[in-house]
Amino acid sequence: MSKARSAARIRALARTATTAIAFREGPAQAAEQASLRGGPFGYKFGKVGPVQVDAHAFWLRAPGCGEIRPVTLPQPGRDEVVVRTLRSGISRGTETLVFAGGVPPSQHAAMRAPYQEGDFPGPVKYGYLNVGLVEQGPAELRGRTVFCLYPHQTAYVVPARAVAVVPQGVPPARAVLAGTVETAINALWDAAPLLGDRVTVVGAGMVGCCVARLLSRFPGVQVELVDIHAGRADVATALGVRFALPADAGDGRDLIVHASATSSGLQRSLELLAAEGTVIDLSWYGDSEVRLSLGGAFHSGRLGIRASQVSTLSPAGAGRRTRADRLALALDLLRDGAFDALLTGQSSFSELPDVMARLAAGSLSALCHTITYDGG
């Protein structure tokens, strides 16, 4: 083959290549690899071979307005991986709050996601439930399905230490829940339920449902899941716990885990506690004002409210476990197929701007809505 024909062939492959690997081999090897791998990305070839990969990301341009933007990925370093996204999940409570511009200025730094770009209220690239396939990186990771706290993007480059391998038997759609299950683990380390405890989870969203499922596996613990939506009763059944509307919830509870992100939910949590009981509050209220009536049994019953937040390891585990340990435990717990009850819909990546707007407006009902990608 002449040099001219060879160069033309490489340029054609560059236009149609569908893999996120930046190959260091010659034209023949690059052509062979490009023909074998799939994905929505293209190469930019220079004099010494491909050096950059294009991808696409979801950005919040301004509160209430999302868009898909092109991204030029950096060439991966020695200890980095190129990941092609298979699925991402929408953390409905936090991400719709971000989408609506509801992060107060005082919390802009605290609310930054690990690989966020831009700043609140926008433009900002935000998200943290991403499952993908390692296309390039250390030998022990190549070809492995991994979870990463990365926004909604078709491909990305991160340090190898930033990804966690998804165990066999955990499908990518379920694996997007790893970040939420990790939050639930941290909450239960904070809560420290005892054998025989009567525990209520108020708020049957993603986090509340994950907490309820983990609690259902504690010996002797009675678990009730409370929500204002009667339709969550079916989810509670799938998770193996009782369900109640707020007015019908059992009282005299030893422990309440609150995850409704509403004043009324927190108030009802206090009302359901037994004397000396504690509410572990997982809710993120954003810029919403929280109002409570503390003139009843709050003081006489010596009730307590404690916050739990996943960005800090619970003191109960901090001395013996790392964040990586916590995430690995979350992924292992996702072998449990009951968590599939939380996956209540899916849309393609191209639909994400509209999906996020519908979720924020409440016109799309979902627990965890997942996003699909080409090849995933």
Using one digit for the tens of pLDDT, what is the confidence trace for 59-105? 999 999 999 999 999 999 999 999 999 999 999 889 999 999 999 99
For the cut 60, the answer to whether the pLDDT of residue 29 exceeds it is no
Residue 148 · residue 175 · CB < 8 Å:
no
Q: What is the mean pLDDT of the chain?
A: 87
The alpha carbon of residue 156 and the mean position of all alpha carbons in its chain are separated, in whole angstroms, by: 16
Decide which of 341 and 285 is more confident: 341
Listed residue (80, 222, 90, 71) closest to 152, CA to CA: 90
Q: According to the model, what pLDDT value does residue 168 have? A: 95
Distance CA 76, CA 59 (A): 23
Distance CA 86, CA 273 (A): 43
Residue-wise pLDDT for 313-357, tens only, equals 898 877 888 999 999 999 999 999 999 999 999 999 999 999 999
How many other CB atoms sit within 10 Å of the CB of residue 296?
12
Q: How many helices (H) and strands (E) does the chain have?
A: 12, 18
Q: According to the model, what pLDDT value does residue 24 have? A: 28
pTM of the model: 0.83
Residue-wise pLDDT for 304-315, tens only, equals 999 998 988 898
Q: According to the model, what pLDDT value does residue 315 have? A: 87
Backbone angles phi, psi at 287, to 5 degrees: -95, 15
E strand residue ranges, 4-161: 43-46, 49-62, 65-73, 80-90, 117-118, 124-125, 130-136, 145-148, 155-159
Q: Which residues contact 356 (CB under 8 A, 6 or more apart)?
A: 58, 66, 90, 95, 96, 99
For the cut 80, the answer to whether the pLDDT of residue 358 exceeds it is yes
Q: According to the model, what pLDDT value does residue 285 have? A: 85
Mean pLDDT of the 184-209 span: 97
Q: According to the model, what pLDDT value does residue 316 have? A: 85
Choice among 45-49, 143-147, 237-241 with the minimum mean pLDDT: 45-49
Q: According to the model, what pLDDT value does residue 75 have? A: 93
Share of the chain above pLDDT 90, in %: 77
Integer-rounded Cα Rg, in Å, for the chain is 23
Mean pLDDT of the 189-208 span: 96
DSSP 3-state of 320: coil
Length of the chain: 376
